[in-house]
Chains A and B, each alone.
Chain A
Amino acid sequence: AQSVTQPDIHITVSEGASLELRCNYSYGATPYLFWYVQSPGQGLQLLLKYFSGDTLVQGIKGFEAEFKRSQSSFNLRKPSVHWSDAAEYFCAVVPGNTGFQKLVFGTGTRLLVSP
């Protein structure tokens, strides 16, 4: 079945350490790719998106993501995590072959930041 997979439900990272959150998709055509962040009780904020071109995408708050077509992945990275980065992160995809712009979400990864 076509889907978006975030294999890590929870991740704990020490403050100042690097972070990588994984996202894989199973759509045949190259999709549009997004990462969103959600703080507790809040809405979703767009971190970055990839449509085409350079496969390394820079986003807000010091985040970046790399599209790897061969691995059907779009992993999110940050070189040094801050305590304020603790939140839930969602990978989302617009499948490239849909007739309209339907955004499909992964199940999310909750990031905990330890002192």
Chain B
Amino acid sequence: DAGITQSPRHKVTETGTPVTLRCHQTENHRYMYWYRQDPGHGLRLIHYSYGVKDTDKGEVSDGYSVSRSKTEDFLLTLESATSSQTSVYFCAISEPTGGYTFGSGTRLTVV
């Protein structure tokens, strides 16, 4: 499996502050994804990337931005955190064989 590391694992932040979550992969895969997980909703796609500096929106992208300046790193930024963005965030990569591998998640609480 591809090595995926998310940081931080847990974060508590105040409403209105910017927050950046990091996803790092060690396998040089092209596609990377950010999902959020909320009870009753499963996982929903926020943004994805198909290469360095190539990103696009998913179904719940409002209030989020992403950047990918290197193949191995995919950053998710909450420009001004709101309580509705309290969630568990998962990064994922898709492999050439068609499989998807997920990171361990970041639990974000906005107070």
Contact = CB atoms under 8 A, between A and B. Distances in A.
Interface of A: 6, 9, 32, 34, 36, 42-44, 46, 49, 51, 90, 92, 94, 100-108
A43 B40 contact: no
Contacts of A107: 40-42
Interface in B32-86: 33, 35, 40-45, 48, 50, 58
A43 B103 contact: yes
Contacts of A102: 45, 48, 58
Contact of B104 (A43, A51, A92, A108): A43
A7 to B, nearest CB: 13
Interface of B: 31, 33, 35, 40-45, 48, 50, 58, 90, 92, 94, 98-105
14 contacts: A32-B98, A36-B102, A44-B90, A44-B102, A46-B101, A49-B98, A49-B99, A92-B43, A100-B48, A101-B31, A102-B48, A103-B92, A105-B42, A105-B44
Given A43-B90, A49-B99, A105 B43 contact: yes
Nearest to A32: B98
B21 to A, nearest CB: 14
B109 to A, nearest CB: 14
A102 B45 CA distance: 8
Given A100-B31, A101-B31, A103-B92, A43 B102 contact: yes
Contacts of B99: 46, 49
A106 B42 contact: yes
A109 B35 CA distance: 18
A63 to B, nearest CB: 16
A74 to B, nearest CB: 15
A92 B102 CA distance: 13
